[in-house]
Amino acid sequence: MVTDEENVFKALADKSRRQLLDQLREKNGLSLGELCEGHDMSRQAVTKHLVLLEAANLVVAVKRGREKLHYLNPVPINDIYMRWIGKFEQDRVQTLHNLKEALKENDHE
């Protein structure tokens, strides 16, 4: 079933599928053809990954003319986030995340 949390974790457990999500984070609303550009996965492999991502509701496909456009849908990830991170932890977790990001940037300099 579409709401199944198992599907979300399963979909996220694969590097290629995470790469497809990264691609949509970079540029939302891509067609299958556009999603196939930029890496060496076959069209069939990308299609297969998209089926799983759509089943997990992490990608939403919208028909536009003859094309299907794919959108990153972070809502299921947010549902999981909210399950374990409460109102009062949120700011502290965010602070740690910001610290980590800032340190990463310093490393690159």
Partner 1 sequence: MSKPEFVYTTYIKSTPEKVWEAIVNPEFAAQYWGGLGIVSDLKKGSKWRLVDTKDESIVKCIGEVVESTPPERLTLTWADPSNEADVSRVTFEIGLSGDLVRLDVIHGDFKPGSDMLEKISGGWPLVLSSLKSLLETGKSIDVLSVKGGSCGSSQPLKEAKAG
Binding site for partner 1 (CB under 8 A): 1-3, 28-29, 57, 60, 62, 64, 69, 71, 73-79, 81-82, 86-87, 90-91
Q: What is the 3-state secondary structure (H, E, C) of 18-86?
A: HHHHHHHHHCCCECHHHHHCCCCCCHHHHHHHHHHHHHCCCEEEEEECCEEEEEECCHHHHHHHHHHCC
CB of 58 to partner 1, least distance (A): 10
Nearer to partner 1, 9 or 81 (CB): 81
At closest approach, how far in Å is the CB of 30 from partner 1?
10
Q: How far is the CB of 87 from partner 1 (least distance, A)?
A: 6
Query: Which of residues 33 and 45 has its CB atom nearest to partner 1 in the complex?
Result: 33
Among candidate residues 60, 8, 67, the one with its CA nearest the CA of residue 34: 67
Nearer of residues 46 and 69 to partner 1, judged by Cβ: 69
Q: Are 32 and 17 a contacting pair, CB within 8 Å?
A: no
DSSP state of 93: H
| Residue with Cβ nearer partner 1 (44 or 75) | 75
